Structure 1
Amino acid sequence: MVAVEVATAPSRRQVAERDVAKRRLAHLLSRSLAYEGIPDDLIVTLEEVLSDRPGPAAPSRKFDGLLARIGLPTPRRRPPGVAPLSLEDSARIADRFRRATHQLVQIAPHRVALYPIEDLRLLLALRNQRPAPDVALSYLRRYALAIVALLDLMGDDEE
């Protein structure tokens, strides 16, 4: 029985050394991914989508000026419309968010304490959607908010 243990011992050490090297490499790669920063163009794209996009200005009424001079309140108006995105802008932003989703799926698990299952599931679901052009802005805003929520979970890069 001793001879069997001696005969198998060298192969165990070789496998163990390989496993240690693989574990070390996996650890270093995960740290590399975890410290990879979020590109500035993603932040700019998020701000572009989440900012107010004023639509056409509502025509001013002369009657409102008269009411203001008298001291009476002006009648309520509907909030201004939101300018629609062009097809090119919508496609560009959606492509940027899809690339960011790929990166975030790789990075986020290494940057959070608890694995963000629901947040990543939502990102992947949004990545796979192809909305109609008339609802592209609301889709992109939902996508941007999902990305912001995951970035918030990940915390600040400054540690």
Structure 2
Amino acid sequence: MVAVGVGTATGLLRRPVTENDVAKRRLIHSLSRSLADEGIPDHLITTLEEVLSDRPGAAAPARKVDGLLARLGLPAPRQRPPEVCPLGPDEAARISDHFRRATRLLVQVTPHRVALYPTEELRLLIALHNEQPNPGEALSYLRRYALAIVALLDLMGDDEE
């Protein structure tokens, strides 16, 4: 590492910007925009929302005791989490296919869109890409996969300013 004195830093900062520098900045900006344009398709966002949203099973019947406790200002007793509808094999295969295509794209695009290379996030995404879950574990696997994709999308940020 090289140390730069205050005088040198001040001189470098005062140096005028050349046309070549301006051209480089425009090129970097347009490359960044083109990566975003080929980036995330709308159907991926829809699929992520589909997987991460609640998939309610049969609705639990309302209890009279809960209404009475609410009127008295008392907290309702803890309840078990709601039942979740399992994914059908065709639906799980469709979503998994969307995520695998998105993984190939994200592995190519993400390094160009972040300041520091996201090693752990990409490692997890590739591991999930290669995983073959049991049919009974499809929903939990797809939710883990969706969260890994969302983590990378968060790192990449938004182009809109």
TM-score using structure 1 length: 0.71
Question: CA deviation digits over 1:46-93, x for unaligned, max 9?
Answer: 0000001111112345x5378569857765432211111111111100
2:121 to 119, 122, 141: 119
Contact 1:109 1:115 in 2 (8 A): yes
Secondary structure of the 1:90 match is helix
Larger Rg: 1
- Of Structure 1 and Structure 2, the greater helix share is in 1
CA 1:111–1:69 in 2, change beyond 3 Å: closer, same or farther? closer
Code of the residue aligned with 1:37 in structure 2: it is: G
Gaps of 5+ in 1: 1-26
Mapped to 2, the partners of 1:113 and 1:36 lie a distance apart of 19
Q: 1:37 aligns with which of 36, 39, 43?
A: 39
Identity of aligned residues (%): 69
Gaps of 5+ in 2: 1-26
1:12-50, Cα deviation, whole Å (9 max, x unpaired)? xxxxxxxxxxxxxxx99xx34465231000000000000
1:82 is matched with 84
CA contact (8 A) 1:67 1:73 kept: no
CA contact (8 A) 2:57 2:84 kept: yes
Q: Indicate which of 143, 150, 160 corresponds to 1:148.
A: 150
Q: Distance in 1 between matches of 2:68 and 2:108?
A: 59
Residues matched between the structures, number: 131
Q: Aligned with 1:94: secondary structure?
A: helix
Aligned residue type for 2:65? D
Which residue does 1:95 correspond to in 2? Answer: 97
Note closer, same or farther for the CA distance 1:155–1:76 as it changes in structure 2 (3 Å cut).
Answer: closer
Q: Is this contact kept in 2: 1:112–1:154, CA < 8 A?
A: yes
Q: Deviations along 1:110-133, whole A, 9 cap, x unmatched?
A: 000011111111000000001011
Amino acid at match of 2:152: L
Q: Check conservation: 1:37, 1:157, Cα contact below 8 A.
A: no
2:60 aligned partner = 58
Contact persistence 2:51–2:146 (CA under 8 A): yes
